């Protein structure tokens, strides 16, 4: 019984220490609040098609619009999820209509880190950030054929072949990530 009385006395002292109440007061008040932030909303637009240049880097625009309610310290990140090649590599493929010979052209890609990475090395490009946003805007990433890095090459897959329609695709990852400090 003595332990119960001591426990109740300790509890009463704790409550009294948190809420100052004068001896002649007959009531007290605690203000309460509840807030749940809105879920983030945004629209990311990527081009449906891009015509690559055979002679210079190609700018690929990515646009974020209707950006609202992003949590503090976070951004919208658009990443290269995979290219059309084996293991997600990024290259163009084409066939010469007259000879039936098949060609492949590796692409280089440059994202937010500012360095070109070779699309044939999937461990370098998969997941690389191409654009990021904390508000409405447009950001470009760049693509270029590997042939621009090897202008004197005689390798068929390092020279852009005339009369060959090359094609490929990129799939994107889009989501919220922490802003690195």
Q: How confident is the model at residue 21 (pLDDT cuts 50, 70, 90)?
A: low
Can you tell me whether residue 111 is helix, strand or coil?
coil
Structure tokens belonging to residue 167? 């094609």
Is the residue at 87 inside a domain? Answer: yes
Spatial contact of 83 and 167, defined as CB atoms under 8 Å apart: no
Is the residue at 74 inside a domain? Answer: yes
* Predicted TM-score (pTM) of this structure: 0.79
Is the residue at 90 inside a domain? Answer: yes
Q: How many CB atoms lie within 10 A of CB 180?
A: 6
- Residue 109: what are its φ and ψ, rounded to 5°? -135, 140
Is the residue at 2 inside a domain? Answer: no
Q: What is the pLDDT of residues 79-106, one digit of tens each?
A: 999 999 888 899 999 999 999 999 999 9
Is the residue at 121 inside a domain? Answer: yes
**CATH code where residue 153 lies:** 2.60.40
Strand partners, 75: 177
Least confident of 17-21, 124-128, 166-170: 17-21
Q: What is the pLDDT of residue 3?
A: 45
Spatial contact of 170 and 80, defined as CB atoms under 8 Å apart: yes
Spatial contact of 133 and 76, defined as CB atoms under 8 Å apart: yes
What domain range is 119 assigned to? 41-178
Is the residue at 117 inside a domain? Answer: yes
Q: What is the pLDDT of residues 129-142, one digit of tens each?
A: 999 999 999 999 99
Average pLDDT value for residue range 18-37: 80
Give dist(CA 138, CA 47) in Å, integer: 12
Q: What is the average pLDDT value for the chain, to the nearest integer? A: 87
Spatial contact of 60 and 50, defined as CB atoms under 8 Å apart: yes
Element (H, E) at 83: strand 74-83
Average pLDDT value for residue range 161-167: 93
Give dist(CA 40, CA 157) in Å, integer: 44
Is the residue at 57 inside a domain? Answer: yes
Is the residue at 28 inside a domain? Answer: no
Number of domain units in the chain: 1
- pLDDT value at 145 more than 90: yes
- pLDDT value at 14 more than 80: no
């Amino acid at each position: 019984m003595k332990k119960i009385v001591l426990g109740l006395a300790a509890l009463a002292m704790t409550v009294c220490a948190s809420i100052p109440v004068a001896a002649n007061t007959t009531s007290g008040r605690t203000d309460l609040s509840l807030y749940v932030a809105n879920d983030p909303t945004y629209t990311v637009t990527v081009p449906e098609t891009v015509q690559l240049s055979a002679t210079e880097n190609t700018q690929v625009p990515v646009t974020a619009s209707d950006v609202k309610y992003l949590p503090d310290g976070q951004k919208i990140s658009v990443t290269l999820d995979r290219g059309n090649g084996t293991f997600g590599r990024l290259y163009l493929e084409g066939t010469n209509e007259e000879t039936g010979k098949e060609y492949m052209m590796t692409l280089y890609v440059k994202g937010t880190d500012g360095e070109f990475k070779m699309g044939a090395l999937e461990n370098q490009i998969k997941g690389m950030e191409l654009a990021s946003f904390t508000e409405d805007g447009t950001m470009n990433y760049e693509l270029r054929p590997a042939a621009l890095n090897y202008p004197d090459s005689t390798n068929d897959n390092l020279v852009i072949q005339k009369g060959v329609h090359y094609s490929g695709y990129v799939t994107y990852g889009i989501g919220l990530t922490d802003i690195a400090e």
